[in-house]
Structure 1
Amino acid sequence: MTQETLALHHGYDRGDFGTMAVPIYQTTAYDFETADTAANRFALKELGPIYTRLNNPTTEVFENRFAAVEGGEAALATSSGQSAVFFAVANLAQAGENIIVAKKVYGGSTTLLTHTLKRFGIEAKSFDSDNADDLEALIDDKTRAIFFESLSNPQIAIPNIEKIVKIANKYNIVTVCDNTVATPILLQPISHGVDVVVHSTSKYTTGQGLALGGILVARKGLNEKLIGNERYAHFNEPDESYHGLVYADIPLPLFTLRARLSLLRDLGATPAPFNSWLLIQGLETLAVRMKQHSLNALKVAKYLKSHPKVKNVSYPGLESDEQHHKAKKYFKDGLTSGLLSFEVEGLEYAKNILNSTKLFSVVVNIGDSKSIITHPASTTHMQVPADELEKSGIGQGLIRLSIGLENANDLIADLEQAIG
């Protein structure tokens, strides 16, 4: 089935009542009915709900449906995008090991992966994902993951996915791609060989800024990469916290299984059932919305490109953009989402534009049905040192736009009066 059909139907059996909408199972616990059933579920001899910190029927529909739309085998939903990123890396690396992170990623991911994880003993090395020419030289016997974004926020850059995957496979290392901005509708990293995909479903998936959420999706066949791999001994050796369970012995998707039984169990970054239900509603219309977001953004990008006071526009959908050849290679129908950035002369002028818009809201979210304007250097990336900001292409005059579903001409008129 196509993505559009999967997003509407996959993973839900209407059951006894024939409800068209997936029910909200707003519960923390479940009646096992017998002691044997309870014991079997905890021992993984029988699958089924245990406790909503681990699994929930509404969330399970969302996980299965999103995995199908992303082209993966299994998924684990989390309470936020940040927790999904953390779980993906923590499921692979431990103290004394390292990960390699693209220079062009969301500021929150930079802080988490290069600073917070450092306190846990996990080192992060940086590479240029645009070409990945420096990637192989950074790999050593302690490297456990390569992390990058399919469409970087806010630089709107496309990585050399093919080269990154090729190098990772050469050294038997798991690749993790944040696909939040592109969404599976415009790009499926798994179809290009990526092992694990993460999303902040708080963005385009919900579509109206209604719910926090995150998800990680594992590709089919990832078990073969993990089983017997010396880099990932914890998948192949007894887990003392689970009565000596060896994940590699279980005929289930190992990556999401361990993330659920170890990380979600212990850290509890669990989505609320109501949020999972809201995300299901958003997923059903994602394909329609992403097309319109992208078409609107292209019109706005063309306008900004022609404006004399705009120094530069980053939007791969533009034929003149240096990333356009990658957009044609990786993205469906050349559509490259509703996110774009443009540069003007200096901080004060950039702030004045933000303060002068009427339709655009000064908000740090993206992927909303309503258009958003942001100054990354002073908000989403303010914790990143100034020299690192410049190296990653985030200057004081950079403005990020999340183009919504309004009429593109109205958005252009608003920018016209704000830019002056």
Structure 2
Amino acid sequence: MPPWAGKNFRLLVSASFITNLGGSGATIAAAYAVIEQGGSATDVGLVAAARTLAMVVFLLVGGAVADRVPRQLVMVVANSANALSQGFFAFLVLTGHPALWQMALLTGIGGAAQAFFSPASQGLLLSTVDGEHAGKAFSVYRLSVNGATIGGAALGGALVAGIGPGWVLAVDATGFAVAAALRSRIEVARAVRDTPSGGILRELHEGWREFVSRSWLWGIVVQFAVVNGVVGACEAVYGPLVAREHLGGAGPWGLALAASGIGTVGGGLLMMRWRPRRILLVGTLAIFPLALPPAALALAPSLGLLVAVMFVAGIAVEVFAVGWMLALHQEIPDEKMARVSAYDWLGSVALTPLAMAAAGPAANAFGRTDALWGSAALVVLLTGAVLVLPDVRRLERRTPEGHVVTADLQVPQPTGQ
């Protein structure tokens, strides 16, 4: 950690590293827990969809609560709920034959907890450092989280293959418990805010008006409702099945997911140097490569080709993510950020449960290869449609003083930190 990183920042980064490390492996473990119980592609999709469905149901409530209750407390409670649900999931897998509904229910509890965690996490990072080091803090945080994703995917795939999914789920549960303990020690002042202007419904209405007033915001969220569904179906359903049939099982698929994580690190390093003026235009163009993973899976490729494709997709994801976060924090008033974030999350994941649940039936009806090619085509078509919106093409990065950034490339000078 650099010298400016104080106790609160260290605790926050450590907790995020731990949960992302365990979560990446647990995603693989959950899929193979269903497969080892004799589950079909449809069953894998249903269990994966349960988490996102629960998140969709509770996201708006989570966004409103995050504006009324200290964010840190919401995050601690959410981590604790995840620890309990994953722990019981692990217990069922290790001691018996869990029913499909039990696995779906426990996964759904984790999704409900995430619905409260995600809006609450907005802005907490910048509360742990002074404004002078905000940019550096964001970079360090992203590199830490992406590094955890890399290690979690690779290690999780290997552990699932070596000791079974139950133990991987148990490790993830322990990680959530440790993260809750770490976050409980963070000492930050509660965000300054006037007395809530009314009930939760009124506050959500205010957030909705803020959301729909910007075409770039709702346009990209609608785009990602489909794109995230495609990515979720590929990573949770099609990818594990293709890996089992053509690549050797969970281990190779874990390496492919790890390659995506390495790509996000590369993308993060790129965005630390490259500061494009039209942040949404560049970010949206970066979504086209997300069509490559489903196309590659349709071809049942060698592990080397799949790893390369996932690496490129990881870079693309990070380029978009940086531009998207900059646009949100630049254009959305801070006092409405949690509620707008809730609508962002809701729209972005609304179709993911349906996509995951429909992945198996779609493969049965059209063939898995055609379903994967169709997924790739949807990414390309929706991304092209978003580029039609003028605000997506024209929105420009501004300095804190409100000036438009004119330089496209700024190389940071050494600071000794």
TM-score, scaled to structure 2: 0.27
Structure of higher CA gyration radius: 1
Give the structure with the larger strand fraction: 1
TM-score, scaled to structure 1: 0.27
Give the structure with the larger helix fraction: 2
